[in-house]
Structure 1
Amino acid sequence: MCQLFIQSDSSLWGSKTRSLRINGMVTSIRLERFFWGVLEEIAVRDDMTATQLITKLYLESLDAEHDMGNFTSFLRVCCSRYLSLAADGVLNRDGIEPIATLDAQQLLDQEQQQLNQRQLKPVSIHRDLQ
């Protein structure tokens, strides 16, 4: 099982720091290259750069009164949720539809249904006894 992860391209977990300006303030964000790639994919869907997407996420999060004390974790979760929604078939990664045009509430409801179904499924643990 672990070979799937261990043999992957090691550059994916290498960190990359980018400097950007949010509301006139210069800041740096350090993320793994894998997450930068996902952020770029999401941004392209809405005809933005990753920097523009990050700025938009930050400002909208502040407007929603979220604590942005660990913004890089928030970005990782955004990327993971995007990929999870795509894996569950709730969101298409083809990039044709901009994220801004999607029915966010419907996607959130579908995501919650998927999470509920996962929690209801019995967990089967198979251990190799050697």
Structure 2
Amino acid sequence: MCEFFVKADPILYEQRTRTIRIHGVLTSIRLENMVWDILAEMAASEDRTTNNLIAQLHDEIVAHRGDVPNFASFLRVTCMRFMRRQLDGQQIERPLRVVTPSVTPPVTLARPQAVSLAASS
């Protein structure tokens, strides 16, 4: 399992600093490239810019919690929750399958076809 993570391209976890304007105030945010990519994906899914999305997230977290001591960490967790929600959505679309003990084969939930037992003449 660890090999998959260890072999990740170092560019993904290299950090990059961007300057974002929130209510006219320039703020520098330092995040990993992969986090910036996920934020861009989130913004694109809502037809907005990454900067606009970050400003909205900032406004909403401040309105909900007041001060945010570590906004960069909040953005990282937001990205992880976005990815988890996407994964959960994919799992919902899978067909429902009940797995029983290994003694019997797995059972797929489906209604059996009606069989006609009419006598032939």
TM-score, normalized by length of structure 2? 0.71
- Structure 2: 5+ residue runs without aligned partners? 93-121
Closer/same/farther in 2, CA of residues 67 and 2 from structure 1, 3 Å limit: same
What does residue 64 of structure 1 align with? 64
Aligned-pair distance for 1:62? 1.4
SS at match of 1:88: helix
**Cα deviation, residue 90, structure 1:** 6.5
What's the RMSD between the two structures over aligned residues? 1.8
Deviations 1:8-67 (A, max 9, x none): 111000001000111111110000000000000000011111111000000111122343
Q: Is the 8 A contact 1:85 1:91 kept in 2?
A: no
Secondary structure of the 2:80 match is: helix
User: 2:91, 2:32 → 1: CA distance?
Assistant: 23
Match of 1:48, SS state, is coil
Q: What amino acid maps onto 1:76 in structure 2? A: R
Unmatched tracts of structure 1, length 5 or more = 93-130
Q: Report the TM-score, using the length of structure 1 for normalisation.
A: 0.66
1:74 is matched with which residue?
74
Alpha-carbon spacing, 1:50–1:79, altered in 2? closer, same or farther (3 Å): same
Task: Specify the code of the residue in structure 1 equivalent to 2:46.
Answer: D
Q: Which has the higher helix share?
A: 1
Give the structure with higher Rg (CA).
2
One-letter amino acid matched to 1:29: I
Distance 1:91 1:52, change over 3 A: farther
State the 4+ residue runs in structure 1 displaced beyond 6 angstroms: none
Instruction: Give the CA deviation at 1:91.
Output: 9.2
Q: Does 1:9 align with 2:9?
A: yes
SS at structure 1 position matched to 2:65: coil
One-letter amino acid matched to 2:34:
F
If asked which structure has higher relative contact order (CA below 8 Å, sep 6+), I would say 1
Distance 2:91 2:49 in 1: 20
Q: 1:42 corresponds to which letter in structure 2?
A: M
Bigger strand share: 2
User: What residue is the counterpart of 2:104 in the other structure?
Assistant: none
